[in-house]
Amino acid sequence: MKAMVLERDAQITANPLKLMEMPVPEPGPGHVRVRVRVCGICRTDLHIVEGELPPATRPIIPGHQAVGVVDCVGPGVQQVRVGDRVGIAWLQQTCGQCEFCRTGRENLCERATFSGYHVHGGYADYALVSERFAYPIPDIFSDEEAAPLLCAGIIGYRALRRSHIQPGQRLGLYGFGASAHIAIQIARHWGCAVYVCSLREEHRQLAKQLGAVWVGGASEAPPEKLHGAILFAPAGELVPPALEALEKGGTLALAGIYMTPIPPLEYTRHLFFERTLQSVTANTRQDGLDLLREAAAIPIHPTTQVFPLEEANTALQRLKDGTIQGAGVLKIA
């Protein structure tokens, strides 16, 4: 099979992903093989490629927003059948036995494995996944539309929950990439007034098109205090202004897996009046199922830009530069 493979970390400008021929994987017990049609690109992929996350497996095929059709199942598989259209997300496998798995917090599992990080992901013709983490894709979505829902959508959904925003309240979004452009559609469906702070003018324009009541610069103060906010940009320097923009009792959720250093906070200015700072770590299976169900009911309309698999380096460079509108998706088959 053909795949884009990372052998060693490097800046994306060095084109570190190489097109290679790799063996077609065979599913083991409880796993299924997916013939990948598309795979979304994600800033987490960029963090892996450029070494901002600690190296786990090398060589590695990145990708954790894969959509395709099951073409082979391993021994013991009962819930997924050949021919099912499924999605592969970031969380690939959990132990099911640790304290976190037993208490509904499998996203914090001590022995979790992640797609495109510990095990080969979706920048390839084929990928494997545990049947427990193979998400059925609602028919309403095309492959290209479904791909960004599997990480950008799921993480945005969990971040909305972690921000404790309630229907009808004021929500702030800092950074307006793939995840934010899905989160705003859910928040608007909940009747929230959404305020967007973003570095790029074209992203601010997309936010307006999707119903933002106000848009401003990356660290600009919204005209009203916010009941909740989500920081999607991996920019620690935005944490203080985002906290300062919160209403009393408000919560700021940090949605990234990586962030640059956060400057010192002033207790009275940034945290007093019971403001809360929350991080977001991966997702549970229930997050994924809930997001896909609600996204289909609304329905969500992801904005995508499609690239051939062979242009994965270019697509990730565009992601880093902030020049992708909505979400980038690699066309595999």
**Domain of 235: which CATH number?**
3.40.50.720
Contact 92, 66 (CB under 8 A): no
Tell me the per-residue pLDDT of 90-129, one tens digit each, with 9 for 90 and over: 999 999 999 999 999 999 999 999 999 999 999 999 999 9
Report residue 46: phi and psi, to 5°.
-65, -40
The Cα-based distances of 243 to 79, 158, 236, 253 in angstroms read 44, 19, 12, 10
Domain enclosing residue 184, as ranges: 154-279
Please tell me whether residues 39 and 122 are part of one structural domain.
yes
Nearest to 325 by CA among 198, 154, 156: 198
Tell me the per-residue pLDDT of 269-321, one tens digit each, with 9 for 90 and over: 999 999 999 999 999 999 999 999 999 999 999 999 999 999 999 999 999 99
**What pLDDT does 313 receive?**
98
Cα dihedral 291, 294, 299, 300 sign = negative
* Type of residue found at 267: Y
Helix ranges (H only) for the chain are 43-49, 99-102, 143-146, 152-162, 178-189, 201-209, 239-244, 285-297, 312-321
Please tell me whether residues 231 and 266 are part of one structural domain.
yes
Overall number of domains in the chain: 2
Tell me the per-residue pLDDT of 57-100, one tens digit each, with 9 for 90 and over: 999 999 999 999 999 999 999 999 999 999 999 999 999 999 99
Mean pLDDT of 37-43: 97
CATH number, domain containing residue 41: 3.90.180.10
Share of the chain above pLDDT 70, in %: 100
In three-state form (DSSP H/G/I as H, E/B as E, the rest C), the secondary structure along 52-101 is: CCCCCCCCECCCCCEEEEEEEECCCCCCCCCCCEEEECCEEECCCCCHHH
- As to burial, measured by CB atoms within 10 angstroms (0-12 exposed, 13-18 middle, 19+ buried), residue 8 is exposed
Please tell me whether residues 233 and 112 are part of one structural domain.
no
Please tell me whether residues 8 and 136 are part of one structural domain.
yes
CA atoms within 13 A on the CB side of 111: 7
Tell me how far apart the alpha carbons of residues 195 and 204 are, in angstroms, rounded to a whole number.
Answer: 10
Please tell me whether residues 35 and 137 are part of one structural domain.
yes
**What pLDDT does 90 receive?**
97
Please tell me whether residues 137 and 161 are part of one structural domain.
no
Nearest to 129 by CA among 179, 94, 83, 178: 94
The band of 330, judged by pLDDT with boundaries at 50, 70 and 90, is very high
Please tell me whether residues 220 and 311 are part of one structural domain.
no
Give, rounded to a whole angstrom, the gap between the first and last alpha carbons of the chain: 11
Sorted by sequence, the CB contacts under 8 Å of residue 315 that are 6+ apart come out as 41, 307, 324, 328, 330
Please tell me whether residues 316 and 268 are part of one structural domain.
no
Share of the chain above pLDDT 90, in %: 98
Please tell me whether residues 34 and 137 are part of one structural domain.
yes
The band of 333, judged by pLDDT with boundaries at 50, 70 and 90, is confident
Please tell me whether residues 269 and 235 are part of one structural domain.
yes
Whether residue 293 is contained in a domain is answered as no
Please tell me whether residues 98 and 220 are part of one structural domain.
no
State the chain's maximal CA–CA distance in angstroms: 58
